[in-house]
């Protein structure tokens, strides 16, 4: 079934091209856009050399046709090119803004056919996804992208239901530089999912997702570890208590084929006082590692996007200050304590994230984080420094 989704999308689009002059007009009236970025990344580990460093420019150049009886075509080219000779390809390996070997990124990231009928949307081909456990995870210069087929329906009032099939993707931050099927994780037949968002109750938003590996074996005939992924969260706004006061809760887990299942739950509470947003959070993982397909759904995970989260307890908080229009400064701290028999996720992290909107279509962002591992951890202390300039048109 490899590449089936993209092939179907291309064949359907070619068939529609023969429909007549009105479709030609829809193509001519389509929209081009550019999401450009310049990204500097610098990461260091204690007692490990060299540092992971890179300076790149790139982003997404996209075309979407105008509507033709509910039909749209979309194509987007993705790229990240090393700037100058400041840092070597070897140093670029661990940045995730270049490829796994430090090579430039360059590929057709999106190629899809989208059809909307009343309150139902069908989309097939290469595309970004936006569900709790399968999302674009836009942490670096490029998001993650999928070969998928989805159906999204809004017939139920205040409810969005999405059913999807995922066959392949480009890896974390698209550093695979191509689409791989990841059958060793997902099974030889890919993943099926259903996702729901509901706002029927005033001030309450509920999201849920269930993902199932359609085969419990990989292409080589071996067992995959995780056979399903479960998640639900809710946000309760409390307009009668302060400004932008809210409570959040989340629950998730995995079914493991030959091991104990995992469980994750968390809570978050926040409010706004003048120009300051405050929040406190808690996350707990039990029994086995909690895994998402591609996302960082936990309240305590601001940036990392691990492939798995070991059994642990996380407590933290964050302060966001907005002193002037266009400027946001976030300061966060989290203490993650590994449960017994787990030593990977045992650390404290301090995170600073500053954003400044320069103009309507441009923004500057500076991020700095320090992770201090405990003596029992099998990981090195780490510091990250990132500067990103965004330009959209």
Which residue is it, tokens 């990989």?
A: 218
pLDDT at 88 over 80: yes
Secondary structure of residue 137 in the 3-state scheme:
coil
> For residues 210 and 27, which has the higher predicted lDDT (pLDDT)?
210
Q: Is the peptide bond before 50 cis (omega within 30 degrees of 0)?
A: yes
Q: Is the pLDDT of residue 382 over 70?
A: yes
Whether 262 maps to a domain, the answer reads yes
Of 380, 382, 379, 378, nearest to 369 by C-alpha is 382
| Residue 293 and residue 208 share a domain | no
Mean pLDDT of 73-84: 96
State which of 176, 194, 224 marks the end of a domain.
Answer: 224
Q: Are residues 57 and 160 in the same domain?
A: yes
The strand pair at 382-392 and 362-373 is best described as: antiparallel
Q: Quick one: which of 145, 73, 154 has its CA closest to 115?
A: 73
Helix (H) or strand (E) holding 16: helix 4-17
Answer whether residue 230 is part of any domain.
Answer: no
Judge if 143 and 183 occupy the same domain: yes
Number of domains in the chain: 2
Spell out where 118-242 has E strands.
120-127, 146-153, 159-169, 191-198, 204-213, 226-237
**200, burial (CB in 10 Å: exposed 0-12, middle 13-18, buried 19+):** exposed
101 with 208, same domain? Answer: yes
Most distant CA pair in the chain, distance: 69
Among residues 200, 224, 248, the one where a domain terminates is: 224
Q: What is the pTM of this model?
A: 0.90
Look up residue 99 and give its two tokens: 């490829």
Residues 254 and 380 grouped into a single domain: yes
Residue ranges making up the domain that contains 353:
237-393
69 and 159 assigned to the same domain:
yes
Same domain? For 210 and 294 the reply is no
| Within a domain: 360 | yes
Residue 12 has pLDDT above 80, yes or no: no
> Looking at the DSSP assignment, which residues form a beta bridge with residue 227?
none
Q: Is the pLDDT of residue 282 over 80?
A: yes
Beta bridge partner(s), residue 165? 149, 192
Confidence of residue 1 (pLDDT cuts 50, 70, 90): very low
pLDDT at residue 305, as a whole number: 55
Q: Is residue 259 part of a domain?
A: yes
Please state, in angstroms and rounded to a whole number, the distance separating the CA atoms of residues 267 and 254.
Answer: 19
User: Is residue 18 situated within a structural domain?
Assistant: yes
User: What are the pLDDT digits (tens) for 312-348?
Assistant: 999 999 999 999 999 999 999 999 999 877 677 789 9
Q: Which residues pair with 262 in a beta bridge?
A: 254
Query: What is the distance between the alpha carbons of residues 389 and 287, in angstroms, rounded to a whole number?
Result: 41
Neighbours of 119 (CB within 10 A): 11
């Amino acid at each position: 079934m490899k590449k089936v989704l993209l092939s179907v999308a291309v064949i359907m689009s070619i068939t529609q091209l023969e429909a007549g002059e009105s479709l030609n007009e829809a193509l001519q009236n389509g929209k081009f856009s550019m999401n450009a970025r310049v990204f500097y990344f610098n990461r260091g580990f204690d007692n490990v050399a060299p540092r992971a460093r890179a300076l790149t420019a790139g982003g997404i150049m996209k075309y979407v046709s105008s509507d033709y009886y509910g039909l749209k075509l979309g194509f987007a080219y993705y790229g990240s090119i090393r700037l100058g000779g400041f840092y070597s390809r070897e140093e670029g390996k661990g940045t995730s803004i270049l490829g796994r070997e430090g090579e430039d990124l360059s590929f057709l990231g999106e190629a899809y056919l989208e059809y909307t009928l009343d309150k139902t949307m069908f989309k097939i081909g290469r595309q970004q996804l936006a569900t709790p456990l399968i999302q674009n995870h836009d942490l670096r210069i490029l998001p993650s992208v999928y070969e998928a087929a989805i159906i999204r329906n809004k017939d139920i009032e205040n409810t969005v239901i999405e059913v999807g099939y995922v066959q392949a993707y480009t890896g974390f931050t698209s550093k695979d530089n191509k689409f791989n099927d990841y059958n060793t994780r997902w099974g030889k037949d890919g993943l099926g999912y259903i996702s729901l968002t509901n706002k029927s109750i005033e001030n309450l938003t509920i999201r849920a997702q269930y993902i199932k590996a359609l085969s419990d074996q990989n292409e080589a005939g071996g067992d995959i570890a995780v056979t399903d992924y479960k998640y639900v969260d809710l946000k309760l706004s409390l307009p009668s208590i302060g400004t932008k006061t809210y409570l959040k809760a989340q629950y998730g887990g995995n079914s493991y084929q030959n091991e104990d299942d995992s469980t994750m739950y968390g809570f978050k509470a926040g409010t706004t006082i003048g120009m300051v947003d405050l929040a406190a959070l808690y996350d707990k993982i039990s029994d086995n590692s909690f895994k998402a397909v591609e996302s960082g759904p936990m309240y305590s995970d601001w940036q990392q996007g691990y492939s798995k989260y070991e059994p642990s307890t996380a407590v933290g908080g964050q302060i966001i200050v907005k002193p002037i229009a266009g400027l946001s400064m976030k300061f966060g701290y989290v203490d993650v304590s590994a449960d017994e028999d787990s030593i990977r996720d045992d650390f404290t992290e301090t995170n600073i994230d500053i954003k400044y909107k320069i103009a309507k279509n441009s923004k500057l962002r500076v991020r700095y984080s320090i992770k201090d591992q405990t003596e029992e951890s099998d990981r090195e202390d780490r510091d990250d420094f990132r500067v990103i300039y965004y330009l959209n048109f």
